[in-house]
Amino acid sequence: MLKNPEWFDVIVTTNLFGDIITDLGAMLQGGMGIAASGNIHPGKTSMFEPIHGSAPRHAGKDVASPLGAIMAVAMMLETLGERRSATRIEGAVSSLLSSGAIASVDTRSGLSTTQMGDMVLNELQAQ
């Protein structure tokens, strides 16, 4: 998966190996701060969250990147058939990252959780 991630569309595994694989996969796409996750059960209840989960060591400090959670919302919307909304969210995050407005997705970015969230909201409103 690390050498040729394009070979895979879906990986079915146990929870333990799934946790390891998603953490490794997060590094391929920019780090734990941006990676979204979905436990998708067609026709049943699914769950969406950032790969890093609740990031308890950063809780209440306003330093954790909200981008993983925001991208999980985009993944959820796409799964629910709201592709246009999902694309708007993905575009807003992509624009902020590619422009350098958000230079890093980790706690060393210099931006607070609130600031990053507000930046994404402002980008969405500007679309």
**Structural domain boundaries enclosing 12:** 5-126
Longest dimension (CA), the chain: 42
Is the C-alpha dihedral spanning 76, 90, 93, 31 positive or negative?
A: positive
Nearest to residue 38, comparing CAs of 9, 79, 4, 66?
A: 79
Residue 96 near residue 102 (C-beta atoms within 8 A): yes
pLDDT, tens only, 24-51: 888 777 777 788 888 888 888 999 998 8
Paired strand residues for 48: 38
pTM of structure? 0.83
Phi, psi of 50 (to 5 degrees): -70, 150
Domain count, the chain: 1
User: Residue 57 pLDDT > 90, yes or no?
Assistant: no
**Greater confidence, 2 or 102?**
102
Helix (H) or strand (E) holding 121: helix 113-126
Percent of the chain with pLDDT strictly greater than 70: 99
Asked whether the predicted pLDDT for residue 92 surpasses 90, the reply is yes
Q: Would you state the pLDDT for residue 43?
A: 85
